[in-house]
Structure 1
Amino acid sequence: MPIETLPLFPLHTVLLPGASLGLRVFEARYLDLVRECGRSGRTFGICLILEGAEASGPALPAAVGTEAVIEDFDTGGDGLLTLSLRGARRFRARRMRVRDNGLQVAEIEWIDEPPAGSVRPEHAALVTVLRHMLERRGGDHARAAGSCFNDAAWVGWRLAELLPLPDEQRQALLQIDDPHERLELLLSLVG
């Protein structure tokens, strides 16, 4: 099996599967990354920064991150490149190296998602919370099919995205593989 690599864009935020993220790009290493992704059709990874800054030298990223798919791009009024991203698959970084331009590239393995499971009765209150949040907020997920609200993984990712949580808690939720375990943690956080 060939080793798969993914360029990384460490940030002081967590991108979750299915979530959207707006990003302004100004550093040369990340402009190169976006050009490379545009030419090759590849994606890149977003990881939470554990130590360091977003700009300047390489930061220490979390080992579990989310693949970022570029949905749209534009140039802002300040001339900077702006990206609209969507979170896709989760991955675990095994080894990292830094290119000459400062861009981090990781050898990764994709994290297999468990088969879709229904929301359990003990987590039904979370579905109610999510429905109310989406009614007030609107956006992409407010128009989701009713069946999504019975999908434990989808409900968990949307709550992790929308609740006002510190990035460390979002990262902990990202690292949980079992959607029911994720909902249990979310229940303890909102309870």
Structure 2
Amino acid sequence: MAFPIPQLIHSPTSPLLNLTPLSLNPKIFQSSTPTPSPPHLNVLHHSRRRNSTSLLRCSASSFPEKHHTNSPNSDDVTELPLFPLPLVLFPGAILPLQIFEFRYRVMMHTLLQTDLRFGVIYNDAVTGLSEVGCVGEVIKHERLVDDRFFLICKGQERFRITKVVRTKPYLVARVAWLEDRPSPSADVDVDGLANEVETYMKDVIRLSNRLGGKAEKEVGDLRRNLFPTPFSFFVGSTFEGAPREQQALLELEDTGARLMREKETLKNTLNYLSAASAVKDVFPSSSSPSSPSS
């Protein structure tokens, strides 16, 4: 089932990285809270902007050390207003939005009188509406004179749609809450996996900075004492420009499986960067990994 989704405006500047199969932006690891710029469409998503504040930024400081301690019981079923978007929100991540379309302004008026929570659900023209999404809780908002809203939301619990109960004036669905289950394999060391993933992330950032002509420097602590589950969500939130892969990670209910998939993705990206770095050493005039050979 496909629903209309707001357009996204991307920064016209070139991306900091242009990787295959993954684009991972080192700036996403900054910890400052983003401030929305004056927007003119439903949603502004200025990812990969140089020398400016990104409107979609996920930082380790956004992710609680202990995650889902106050989550609803996974057996609970509730109705939740939904906001279909061509992006994926992870638990703990920060998402700035601008509400412009009439039906979502109506939704905001309702939310401001209730619990400030709605479901962010990935939707695109090819795959349609996903079944699994993440609750976005409004932590800051500004209402403008023309009844638009600026929001800063934080990802909370994941959910699965069990039934669409209303489509007008905005989408409302009955949802069940999701939590990661213990890995079926007792010998899976999720903490060790998380450390491996962090190492790969550091190597990807280091090499991508080198290819971008930046001075190499030691990458700091990315995990910041996060437990494996919230860390796996944080890692998924940094996979910029790959929403379908992010959706697949969001839907997994096994922390070990999610970390393993992220490890393989980062490993493949690192192999690509290593090859690109070797080419750059041989042909120093090459400006980027994607530059055609002369």
Specify the TM-score bucket, using the shorter chain as the normaliser: 0.7 to 0.9
Identical-pair percentage: 23
* Partner in structure 1 of residue 225 of structure 2: 147
Matching residue's letter, 2:133: G
Instruction: Assess, with a 3 A threshold, how the Cα gap between structure 1 residues 143 and 26 changes in structure 2: closer, same or farther.
Output: farther
Residue 106 (structure 1) aligned with residue 184 (structure 2): no
**Structure 1 segments unaligned to the other structure (5+ residues):** 53-58, 137-141
Instruction: Assess, with a 3 A threshold, how the Cα gap between structure 1 residues 183 and 143 changes in structure 2: closer, same or farther.
Output: closer
* Partner in structure 2 of residue 159 of structure 1: 235
Matching residue's letter, 1:31: R
Instruction: Assess, with a 3 A threshold, how the Cα gap between structure 1 residues 123 and 112 changes in structure 2: closer, same or farther.
Output: closer
Cα contact 2:239–2:246 (8 A) shared by 1: no
Q: What do residues 3-27 of structure 1 show as CA deviations (whole Å, max 9, x unaligned)?
A: 5100100000000110111111111
Residue 124 (structure 1) aligned with residue 202 (structure 2): no
Query: Partner of 2:230: helix, strand, or coil?
Result: helix
Partners of 1:181 and 1:188 in 2: CA distance: 11
Task: State the Cα distance separating 1:120 from its structure 2 match.
Answer: 3.6
Residue 88 (structure 1) aligned with residue 156 (structure 2): yes
Pick the aligned partner of 1:32 from 78, 102, 106: 106
Partners of 1:143 and 1:39 in 2: CA distance: 40
* Partner in structure 2 of residue 69 of structure 1: 137
* Partner in structure 1 of residue 121 of structure 2: 47
Partners of 1:61 and 1:87 in 2: CA distance: 19
Cα contact 1:20–1:86 (8 A) shared by 2: yes
Task: State the Cα distance separating 1:51 from its structure 2 match.
Answer: 3.0
More strand by share: 1
Partners of 2:235 and 2:77 in 1: CA distance: 33
Task: State the Cα distance separating 1:40 from its structure 2 match.
Answer: 1.1
TM-score, with structure 2 as normaliser: 0.52
* Partner in structure 1 of residue 91 of structure 2: 17
More helix by share: 1
Instruction: Assess, with a 3 A threshold, how the Cα gap between structure 1 residues 50 and 145 changes in structure 2: closer, same or farther.
Output: closer
Partners of 1:92 and 1:63 in 2: CA distance: 5
Cα contact 2:76–2:176 (8 A) shared by 1: no
Instruction: Assess, with a 3 A threshold, how the Cα gap between structure 1 residues 94 and 23 changes in structure 2: closer, same or farther.
Output: same
Task: State the Cα distance separating 1:43 from its structure 2 match.
Answer: 1.1
Q: What do residues 30-84 of structure 1 show as CA deviations (whole Å, max 9, x unaligned)?
A: 11111111101241100000338xxxxxx94200000110010125799732110
Answer with 1 or 2: which has the greater Rg.
2
Instruction: Assess, with a 3 A threshold, how the Cα gap between structure 1 residues 156 and 2 changes in structure 2: closer, same or farther.
Output: closer
> Number of paired residues?
174
Query: Partner of 1:33: helix, strand, or coil?
Result: helix
Instruction: Assess, with a 3 A threshold, how the Cα gap between structure 1 residues 170 and 76 changes in structure 2: closer, same or farther.
Output: farther
Cα contact 2:166–2:172 (8 A) shared by 1: yes
Instruction: Assess, with a 3 A threshold, how the Cα gap between structure 1 residues 159 and 100 changes in structure 2: closer, same or farther.
Output: closer
